[in-house]
Amino acid sequence: MDATQRGSTGAEAMMINDDQAWEAVMRRDRAFDGQFVTGVFSTGIYCRPSCAARHPARKNVRFFASGAEARAEGLRACKRCLPDDVSRDEAAVLSAIDEIKTSQGQPVLGDLAKLVGYSPAHFQRVFKRSTGLSPAAYARALREERARDALSHEDRVTDAIYEAGFENPSRFYDNMEGKLGMTASAWRDGGRGVTISYAVTKTSLGPMLVAATEKGVCRLSFSEDRAELERRFPNAELAEGGEEFRALLSEVIAAVEKPGDARHIPLDVQGTAFQEAVWQELRKIPPGETRSYAEIAAAAGNPKAVRAAGSANGANTVAVLIPCHRVVRSDGSLGGYAYGTEIKEELLKREST
Ligand SMILES: [Zn+2]
């Protein structure tokens, strides 16, 4: 077969050639699930394009427009990715999303699974594979999104918060914290339309994840991998490596291995006005020096907001480049660090010499 047909309705059929199909398989691109199946003749099974199993050798693969065509060639459906369930899965996810959107409270996984006729554990996986989020996280993200939308329309913040379905304002702020890291418009839809290049690279501080949009670095962290990006930016295109990204990456590695002034490296982060003020102040702390949370709060324009300064510090999505490790307790003790105090200690040690 030279090509497979996209979609089940002939009217919008679009041709996918074998090279494109193979590339989709290599990327485990979920967007192609349901558009063709991958027949693997060495194992006698067929998979959806996004199957998480190890990739077969290209020479053993043929593509089919449907599971039925693959079965006609004597292949069996993969038990891991269940390629014949794509449309059933899609329908189940859509009706669960519908339920989440229309229900007043917060529907629990068990109820949603029952509604669509899946076991809870299986439905959790299906839902996550499709949306990048668990149903609970999806419901939470939806409420946050509604709160943001309402905030732009409502005069009174508390009205907006109740309108979005939060029980009380403090829960709203708990939920909003630590969720930022992209421009608001992209964040609103989980990064849809945004391409994020990333790499996980070895450093002397352990494995480091660096991710960037075309505007700048949007995530720098330790001991995290692609799964964390999928969680934070479920609708973004994730691309490993890339030529321009490599140049940026080497600068970032240099800034981590020999910490100094990294302010020339572009960032793509967005927080609340106060968080951004805090992050700006953090970037002004010269290497080799530290500040207390109280000093940062004052510098960011609100001396009383010491706790909020601490939260903004913790909500930093770009470690090292926004040097939250340069903030210590007022008594001079080290204080916490998202990736462990050992890394914080080591960064400060390198900067002081
Ligand atoms: Zn499979």
Tens of pLDDT along 143-195? 777 766 655 554 444 555 455 554 444 444 444 333 333 344 455 567 888 88
Determine the 3-state secondary structure of 304 from DSSP. Answer: coil
Q: Give CA separation, 93 vs 100, 112, 123, 132, 139, in Å.
A: 10, 9, 8, 12, 13
The pTM (predicted TM-score) of the whole model is: 0.49
Q: Compute, in angstroms, the gap from residue 73 CA to the centroid of ligand 1.
A: 17
Known catalytic membership, residue 324: yes
Cα 33 to Cα 107: distance, rounded to the nearest angstrom: 27
Q: Compute, in angstroms, the gap from residue 131 CA to the centroid of ligand 1.
A: 19
Tens of pLDDT along the chain (353 residues) come to: 333 333 333 333 346 889 999 999 998 887 788 889 999 999 999 999 989 889 999 999 999 988 999 999 999 999 988 898 887 887 888 888 888 888 877 788 999 999 888 899 989 988 887 777 788 888 877 777 776 665 555 444 455 545 555 444 444 444 433 333 334 445 556 788 888 999 999 899 999 999 998 778 889 999 899 999 998 888 899 999 877 788 888 888 988 888 777 777 888 887 666 777 788 888 888 888 999 988 888 887 777 777 778 888 888 889 999 999 999 887 778 887 888 889 999 999 998 87
- The residue from 47, 51, 78, 81 that is catalytic is 47
Q: Please, which residues have CB within 8 angstroms of residue 147's CB and are 6 or more apart in sequence?
A: 160, 161, 163, 164, 166, 172, 176
Q: Compute, in angstroms, the gap from residue 124 CA to the centroid of ligand 1.
A: 18
pLDDT by residue (tens digit) across 224-262? 999 999 988 888 999 998 777 888 888 889 888 887 777
Do β-strands 37-40 and 45-47 pair in parallel, antiparallel, or remain unpaired?
antiparallel
Q: Please, which residues have CB within 8 angstroms of residue 324's CB and are 6 or more apart in sequence?
A: 282, 313, 314, 316, 337, 338
Q: Compute, in angstroms, the gap from residue 50 CA to the centroid of ligand 1.
A: 8
Known catalytic membership, residue 47: yes
- The residue from 51, 78, 218, 324 that is catalytic is 324
Q: Compute, in angstroms, the gap from residue 81 CA to the centroid of ligand 1.
A: 4
Question: Which residue(s) pair with 62 in the sheet?
Answer: 39
Neighbour-count burial of 20, counting CB atoms closer than 10 A to its CB (0-12 exposed, 13-18 middle, 19+ buried): middle
Q: Compute, in angstroms, the gap from residue 19 CA to the centroid of ligand 1.
A: 19
